[in-house]
Amino acid sequence: MSTARERFAGGTAVITGAGSGVGAGLARYAASIGMRVVVTDVDADRARIVAGDIVAQGLEAEAQILDVTDAEAFDKLATDVYERYGSVELLINNAGLETAGVLWEIPVQRWRQVMKVNVDGVFHGIRAFLPKMIAAGTPATVANMSSVGGVLTQALQTPYIVSKHAVVALTESLHQEVALTGAPIQVTVLLPYSVRSRIFVDAQAAAPSGNAAADQMFDVLHTLGETAGMDPIDAAENMFADIAAGEFWGFTDKAFGLGALGHRAETLSERRAPAPPMSF
């Protein structure tokens, strides 16, 4: 079984939403094992800070501004990266948004925004890069960021949960379609759990829910993440280990992730109603 360094050193990684949180951890870890990293984010300052920190360590990285909801921008990025580097060994479609509130109070614009970033953004990345990977005919990997929420459910986070279930289904189907091509391309879905990030803070700043229970839940989740959540680089190392091992399912916390899959399987096989909502 190859290590992440053995598998990817010398290759190029493109990571979306890499300006903070899990994405920044993935970018920093990819660089640490010898990859050239294209750090993309819609926030130019965040992308430049992460790329600059990597370069300051004598490693290879560059920052690129990318709105993953813009298919044309994704196409231009893919063309540019291939023209300059010749190949991409790893694409991680990581960019994502959270939001809180009861479903019937979610603004239509916010619902659409979450779906455009979390689902359409993955589609745009695949559409831009995968044909070039197939044409190259060399080993490559596409990893799509879901969440343990992609196999579980949770009240007051419905748009996010729906989007992450969609990413799991998309990635499972993509795995089957890539197999039809015979190309040496691995497809992996990533299911992180409790990693330190700004996702809850950013969500509250961008779209205040106006719902006391939802706001309290996000405050609790953010605090738990800051006090007990995994360091993003440690989380990245765990996910890279699963990718390097050729796994379809990648986890930050394998025991929790496998438990989430088992819980979902039992819920479906036993036709259980959803569990009672958590209290906050």
For the segment 178-195, the average pLDDT, to the nearest whole number, is: 97
In sequence order, the 6+-apart residues with CB closer than 8 A to the CB of 161 are 149, 150, 152, 153, 154
| 185 vs 126: CA distance, rounded Å | 12
**What positions carry a catalytic annotation?**
160
One-letter identity of residue 207:
A
pLDDT at 164: 98
| 62 vs 14: CA distance, rounded Å | 10
38 torsion bin: left (phi>0), alpha (psi -120 to 50), beta (else): beta
Q: Is the pLDDT of residue 1 over 60?
A: yes
* % pLDDT > 90, the chain: 85
Q: What are phi and psi of 110, to 5 degrees?
A: -70, -40
Report residue 280's pLDDT band, with 50, 70 and 90 as the boundaries: very low
The SS3 assignment for 194 reads coil
Q: Is 65 exposed, middle or buried (0-12, 13-18, 19+ CB in 10 A)?
A: middle
For the segment 63-78, the average pLDDT, to the nearest whole number, is: 98
pLDDT at 279: 53
Instruction: Quote the pTM value.
Output: 0.95
For the segment 64-68, the average pLDDT, to the nearest whole number, is: 98
Q: Is the dihedral of CA 151, 157, 162, 168 positive or negative?
A: negative
How many C-alpha atoms does 235 have within 13 Å on its Cβ side? 26
Q: Which two tokens stand for residue 106?
A: 């979610």
Q: Is the pLDDT of residue 200 over 90?
A: no
Place of tokens 């939802």: 214
pLDDT at 224: 67
The answer to whether the CB of 68 falls within 8 A of the CB of 95 is yes
| 111 vs 94: CA distance, rounded Å | 18
pLDDT at 149: 96
- Report the chain's mean pLDDT, rounded to a whole number: 94
Q: Is the pLDDT of residue 90 over 90?
A: yes
Q: Is the pLDDT of residue 203 over 80?
A: no
* % pLDDT > 70, the chain: 99
Tell me the pLDDT tens digit for each residue of 243-269. Answer: 999 999 999 999 999 999 999 999 999
For the segment 159-178, the average pLDDT, to the nearest whole number, is: 98
Alpha carbon distances (Å) from 136 to 77, 90, 130: 17, 13, 10
The answer to whether the CB of 199 falls within 8 A of the CB of 96 is yes
For the segment 76-91, the average pLDDT, to the nearest whole number, is: 98
For the segment 225-252, the average pLDDT, to the nearest whole number, is: 94
Tell me the pLDDT tens digit for each residue of 30-64. Answer: 999 999 999 999 999 999 999 999 999 999 999 99
In sequence order, the 6+-apart residues with CB closer than 8 A to the CB of 74 are 66, 68, 124, 125, 127, 128
Kind of pairing between the strands at 185-191 and 140-145: parallel
